[in-house]
Structure 1
């Protein structure tokens, strides 16, 4: 069985998921990385009154070059200045409220001041130098939509309209465990036939970066009864269960078998390299994603499938159709029989051109390649590529957003 195409499998997975219904109101300072539960409307205009764009003079009346204006006061940021009479000027500073009656602001560099009067060195038009009331947002406007991920600019926007608290979707609870008789925990003596469990801290770390609540169920042996109990328990506590290992066709690969007993496997195998032995479905109604066991396959499929699932659970767009970056390869690459995500690093050639250098060995068990790389590039099926050919590039940092 060759396996389903990547994008089709991704869309089929997210189509089975729904947003978590519970929400909570939290302080703005605690909302970084969370997802809005509801649309946010502006309760006030921003700015609430017209303000000056720069240091200068607010003017009331027709503005022409060489005219002379008496200066009748000052408006500092935070002041509520008195009205300005016609044909008069008021000293004003960046962000200060425009006095009633003023219709423009002239920059201080464009005037000559002598005592309490200024001479204008240029003509300006009504509205120049002014940020009007409501220029940023108007009362009643939807300033952020439900499902928006709150980063620093969004927090600033919410603060600008006076929101001290915000309603966000409850953090998804993600149960995770790894499987394999060969695995031991880092820090323990390395016994014959054993390897250290690298996938577990990698998955827990990636989940933590995505801002979820992690239910860490540790590492389980290749034992059907132990797996059955763990999966059944995880399904009652979590919004999504993910595992690493045990979904291939080996005699000790029990995860797929147990999932089918407790629920269903909707997808098995994806036409992809690395990461072909991937499964998803549900355990007693709770969504399940079974990642492959090789570390690189685990990492790549985590971000191709688990990350979109978490976004949908949080009420956001799955972000699986966003156009990738397009960059040229620094070297040739032979054709493959499956779409392949190869580990690459951005480099610059002698002409200052950014290229993608490919790691020397693309074996899916080499975590050193992931630590070296800053992203992956997608190699199309059946195409011999040469240096300079442009490919799709996915930087790792974008996968954490």
Structure 2
């Protein structure tokens, strides 16, 4: 996997959200397929269609513990006049050569065991005396009292129709059927199906390895005491969790101080385990925005085609952004702003689609719906910028949560949607239909 350099633009060019996203998705490429064992492939995307090599179930089998019988032998059976059948043997799950059931006979059968030759249906043990001659059995209790493999008689107190309590051969899937289509994300049910049809390994695109690091000398690890002017590092935790939620294997790097040499060496050290790098903070125009300084030095030392472009976007929050590639493998890097809400919104708009693209998925975006704005007052939006507001969505309506400030992380924790106000909308009155990005 490699990524080309970002699309060049004039230094004063104000990028739209769509231009920036298109630039990212046009340069990030899906990871190369690999063969993995089933449990290692969980969360990965299937590369090829998988066909069914064996029919499931591979033979007619019982869905109940009971007795395999011929339908005619139990016709008309009831409590007063039960059918009395000769028990010719037991059929357990995995039995290679089950007994044959002839006229007036029954075979004791366990759940999953193959239906023996001659039998047409299964009578649940609860409809019999369990072979004890004492009236209807009480399930497993009655059966457990009968000596295993013992011959004798069983009284059947109810009739059955043909194929009753029998799982048909091929009732699940048949050989030659499509088991799973290429592009399927492998979760527990899909892995269960692959193992059921005999696959020990599967060809997938691996989960992307994403390294997340935050920058800022003011950042302190949660759990440690705060000094004057310090705050806890929340961005790296939120973005690492978001990367994992998107399907990646994510590594969080502790906050890096505002020192270009330290940041540069940290980035270079982390490249060995990164398919994608994400930084947060240090991309604006302040005196201590070391991400720009550090990455410009990295780009100077990299091979041709690498580089990180820092740009301004017509969006709120998240105006300052950086995108490019670094290192000998041209590892994609997205540099996000440092305010908590800005970094999270930027992740949802740009990093998540990049991760999903690396995975090889076709649909890389969060679902979007139209919803009626439920609010007491009009929402304001700066002209020419696409605004993303935190919201709570339910039943076709969305209500804003908290204010527009990019530092209001508490409101973000209570939101399950982003309200999108386009560039040409300066005011959204109550009842307006708006676009909503669903985060849940």
**Same fold judged by TM-score > 0.5?**
yes
1:201 counterpart residue number:
237
Q: Structure 2: 5+ residue runs without aligned partners?
A: 1-12, 130-134, 137-152, 300-305
Distance verdict in 2 for CA 1:286–1:61, change over 3 Å? same
Deviation string 1:267-319 (CA, Å, 9 cap, x unpaired) is 84444433232332212421111112110111222233223322333344453
Deviation, 1:238, is 2.4
Question: 2:370, 2:433 within 8 Å by CA — same for their partners in 1?
Answer: no
Of the structure 1 ranges 272-281 and 210-219, higher mean CA displacement relative to structure 2 is found in 210-219
**1:172 is aligned to 2:208:** yes
Structure number with bigger Rg = 2
For the residue of structure 1 that corresponds to 2:390, the secondary structure is strand
2:253 counterpart residue number:
216
Deviation string 1:50-73 (CA, Å, 9 cap, x unpaired) is 223456765657899758977454
Counterparts of 1:267 and 1:253, CA distance in 2: 12
**1:302 is aligned to 2:347:** yes
Question: 1:35, 1:316 within 8 Å by CA — same for their partners in 2?
Answer: yes
TM-score, scaled relative to structure 2: 0.68
Counterparts of 1:65 and 1:267, CA distance in 2: 82
**1:17 is aligned to 2:28:** yes
Counterparts of 1:309 and 1:189, CA distance in 2: 35
**1:191 is aligned to 2:228:** yes
Question: 2:317, 2:406 within 8 Å by CA — same for their partners in 1?
Answer: yes
2:419 counterpart residue number:
378
Deviation, 1:107, is 7.1
Counterparts of 1:51 and 1:199, CA distance in 2: 55
Question: 2:248, 2:355 within 8 Å by CA — same for their partners in 1?
Answer: no
2:193 counterpart residue number:
157
- The count of residues paired between Structure 1 and Structure 2 equals 383
Q: Structure 1: 5+ residue runs without aligned partners?
A: 348-352, 397-401
1:98 counterpart residue number:
115
2:149 counterpart residue number:
none
Deviation string 1:212-247 (CA, Å, 9 cap, x unpaired) is 152626414164x55444445544552212111233
TM-score, scaled relative to structure 1: 0.73
1:311 counterpart residue number:
356
Deviation, 1:45, is 2.8
Of the structure 1 ranges 258-267 and 239-248, higher mean CA displacement relative to structure 2 is found in 258-267
1:399 counterpart residue number:
none
Distance verdict in 2 for CA 1:334–1:208, change over 3 Å? closer
Question: 1:175, 1:234 within 8 Å by CA — same for their partners in 2?
Answer: yes
Deviation string 1:314-356 (CA, Å, 9 cap, x unpaired) is 3444531x63466655435525354443323467xxxxx6964
For the residue of structure 1 that corresponds to 2:379, the secondary structure is coil
**1:331 is aligned to 2:375:** yes
Distance verdict in 2 for CA 1:340–1:88, change over 3 Å? farther
**1:274 is aligned to 2:317:** yes
Counterparts of 2:418 and 2:207, CA distance in 1: 31
Deviation, 1:189, is 3.8
Deviation string 1:14-67 (CA, Å, 9 cap, x unpaired) is 332233337364463x55434456655545332221223456765657899758
Distance verdict in 2 for CA 1:232–1:116, change over 3 Å? closer
Map 1:252-291 → 2, pairs under 5 A: 252-256=288-292, 259=295, 262=299, 263-265=306-308, 268-284=311-327, 285-291=330-336
2:148 counterpart residue number:
none
Counterparts of 2:118 and 2:21, CA distance in 1: 59
Q: CA RMSD of the aligned region, Å? A: 4.3
Distance verdict in 2 for CA 1:111–1:189, change over 3 Å? closer
2:58 counterpart residue number:
48
Of the structure 1 ranges 271-280 and 180-189, higher mean CA displacement relative to structure 2 is found in 180-189
Distance verdict in 2 for CA 1:105–1:326, change over 3 Å? farther
Deviation string 1:73-114 (CA, Å, 9 cap, x unpaired) is 465555553344479765656544323345555778999999
1:341 counterpart residue number:
388
Deviation string 1:242-263 (CA, Å, 9 cap, x unpaired) is 1112333445435346546613
Map 1:114-153 → 2, pairs under 5 A: 116=154, 124=161, 129-139=165-175, 141-145=177-181, 148-153=184-189
For the residue of structure 2 that corresponds to 1:149, the secondary structure is coil
Deviation string 1:367-387 (CA, Å, 9 cap, x unpaired) is 1112333x1233343262535
Deviation string 1:106-161 (CA, Å, 9 cap, x unpaired) is 77899999975658667x5x656543223333445553355543322223223323
